[in-house]
Amino acid sequence: MDEGMLVDLAKSTLLTALVLVTPALLVGMVVGLAISLLQTITSVQEQTLAIVPKMLAVVATLLVLLPWILSTLREFARGLFAGLAEFGLAGM
């Protein structure tokens, strides 16, 4: 396995991970910003008011996107195993 293959593998792994977590991160950021704005307007500084809605929104987002996440991971794994099979055959 040469350096080019390792760099491509690392690049595709990081890109896949970034694509998978971006929706949950964006939802958490938007909900956190909305809650912070609400806390500032109402002068309520309760920590549980900030974390619980963010957690619920992120979990709901992950549950809604679970079929897409699993299909993306399945395609990534399929490509990874196909590449390993080609590498194994090339070494013989």
The pTM of the full predicted model, rounded to 2 decimals, is 0.79
List the domain boundaries for the chain: 22-90
What value does the mean pLDDT of the chain take?
89
**pLDDT tens figures, 13-58:** 999 999 999 999 999 999 999 999 998 898 888 877 889 999 999 9
- First CA to last CA across the chain, in angstroms? 13
Residue 39 CA: distances (Å) to CA of 15, 47, 50 = 35, 10, 8
- Phi and psi (nearest 5°) for 79? -65, -40
The residues, ordered by sequence, that sit 6+ positions from 57 with a Cβ below 8 Å of its Cβ are 27, 28, 31
- In this structure, the number of other CB atoms found within 10 A of the CB of residue 27 comes to 19
